Amino acid sequence: MIGSAIPGVRSGNSPPLKTRQGMKNTSAQQHPWNISIVVAGMLAILSSCTTYQPHPLADRSPLMTEPGGLQINAATLQGKSADGYAINLTDGLDLTETGIVAVLNNPDLKVQRARLQVAGAQAFSAGLLPDPQLGAGFDKPTGNAAPDTAWLVGLSYDIIPLITRQARVDAAHKGQKKIRLDLLWQEWQVIQRARSLAVRVQLEEQRLTLLHTMRALYQERYQRSAQALKTGDITLGVNGVDLTALVDTLSQINQLEQKHNQTRHSFNLLLGLDPQVTVSISTLSPATHLDPDTMNARLDQLPLVRPDLLALKAGYESQEARVRAAILAQFPSLGIGVNRASDTDSVDTVGLSVSLTLPLFSGNR
């Protein structure tokens, strides 16, 4: 019985014993593989992350200093294509060309289109399913209490985002629709504003031409009157009337030139051009007569097609969906998971876990 009393030696009838060294070797063979898998998975996730790229602000105005910089290759706008419409800047812009160029190059519309892209990204993000959570850990015994290192790997998933997903998707899509309709309404306004300014520019130029002709006539008349005054053919009162007419014409020219300068600046700003750039406008076509019956019929349908009213409706529906999502999210966060573990005695287990947020303080308010 001496052999049975010596550690590591067994007798013929005794069952084989696992030595401490053998148990450690078994744990050493299992543990590195588990940790390697977890580390490799984390590295794969981190490698797909987007890095920061600085995008500094521009150091000069985005307004173009030459008419040739205008985007005249008209693309599809709000589902209606302007391709095939010949835009020639050399012969001047008509009202249709003015509207197209303004929509394509207006700085405010470019900002609104960027917001529409952001809303599209938010709608895409709202439709994504929530990511599962991966957890891992290990416990290394101290002293001689146990031979093996315990480890745990778990995969859990939050259920509440699945419940609120449809409401969040509806809110995001309705919000995107609102921004798209707001953009369409702004495009309508920019088109009409650009056309009105184009008409005003041409009418002011015609008035200036007429006033300059009048100034030349009054100038010639005043010079003759002054010569006649020197010879005594007319009185000072008659000469004063001619001078008053000339001064009044010069005053009208100065006032109209200032107003025309402001109109030009507003017109260039709508087209995304520097104020110093001059764009010629072609001769206006004769005004068309509006049929009262057709106009009244379209006015009756106006509330159904006006983009600003439709945008208001879409915004209301978006807020309704947000409220519905908030109501669904009032319940405590619930998560379920599956675990794979091994304790210090090399006992492997597989189990389920449930996590519930206790609404003690905030209560999801």
Is the pLDDT reported for residue 14 higher than 50? no
What local confidence, expressed as pLDDT, does residue 252 receive? 96
- Give the pLDDT mean for 62-80: 55
The closest alpha carbon to 145, from 343, 341, 349, 7, belongs to 343
Write out the two tokens for 293: 């019956």
Bridge partners, 357 (sequence order): none
- Give the pLDDT mean for 242-249: 94
- Give the pLDDT mean for 248-252: 96
Q: How confident is the model at residue 139 (pLDDT cuts 50, 70, 90)?
A: confident
Q: How far is Cα 142 from Cα 29, in angstroms, rounded to an integer?
A: 19
Write out the two tokens for 253: 């020219």
Q: How far is Cα 170 from Cα 127, in angstroms, rounded to an integer?
A: 9
Is the pLDDT reported for residue 4 higher than 70? no
Lowest mean pLDDT among 54-63, 79-88, 137-146, 244-253: 79-88
**Helix (H), strand (E), coil (C) string for the chain:** CHHHHCCCCCCCCCCCCCCHHHHHHHHHHHHHHHHHHHHHHHHHHHHCCCCCCCCCCCCCCCCECCHHHCCCCCCEECCEECCCCCCCCCCCECHHHHHHHHHHHCHHHHHHHHHHHHHHHHHHHHCCCCCCEEEEEEECCCCCCCCCCEEEEEEEEECHHHHHHHHHHHHHHHHHHHHHHHHHHHHHHHHHHHHHHHHHHHHHHHHHHHHHHHHHHHHHHHHHHHHHHHHCCCCHHHHHHHHHHHHHHHHHHHHHHHHHHHHHHHHHHHCCECCCCCCCECCCCCCCCCCHHHHHHHHHHHHHHCHHHHHHHHHHHHHHHHHHHHHHCCCCCEEEEEEEEECCCCCEEEEEEEEECCCCCCCCC
Write out the two tokens for 175: 């919000």
Q: Cβ contacts of residue 119 below 8 Å, gap of 6+?
A: 172, 175, 176, 179, 180
The closest alpha carbon to 11, from 2, 23, 20, belongs to 2
The closest alpha carbon to 319, from 132, 108, 167, 127, belongs to 167
* Cβ-contact 331, 364 below 8 angstroms: yes
- Give the pLDDT mean for 69-88: 53
Q: Which amino acid is at 276?
A: Q
What local confidence, expressed as pLDDT, does residue 32 receive? 52
What local confidence, expressed as pLDDT, does residue 19 receive? 44
Instruction: For Cα atoms 181, 182, 184, give the angle at the middle one, nearest 5 degrees.
Output: 60
Is the pLDDT reported for residue 190 higher than 50? yes
Q: How confident is the model at residue 176 (pLDDT cuts 50, 70, 90)?
A: very high
Q: What digits encode the pLDDT tens for the residues 287-325? A: 778 888 888 888 888 888 899 999 999 999 999 999 999
What average pLDDT does the structure give for the chain? Answer: 81
Is the pLDDT reported for residue 77 higher than 60? no
Q: How far is Cα 221 from Cα 215, in angstroms, rounded to an integer?
A: 10
What local confidence, expressed as pLDDT, does residue 318 receive? 95
What local confidence, expressed as pLDDT, does residue 33 receive? 56
- Give the pLDDT mean for 66-80: 51
Burial class (CB in 10 A: 0-12, 13-18, 19+), 301: exposed
What local confidence, expressed as pLDDT, does residue 58 receive? 73
High-pLDDT (> 70) share of the chain, % = 77
What local confidence, expressed as pLDDT, does residue 247 receive? 95
What local confidence, expressed as pLDDT, does residue 194 receive? 94
* Cβ-contact 343, 147 below 8 angstroms: no
Phi-psi region of 277 (alpha: psi -120 to 50; beta: other; left: phi over 0): beta
What local confidence, expressed as pLDDT, does residue 67 receive? 63
The closest alpha carbon to 186, from 64, 306, 302, 275, belongs to 306
Specify the CATH class of 61-284+301-356 in words: mainly alpha
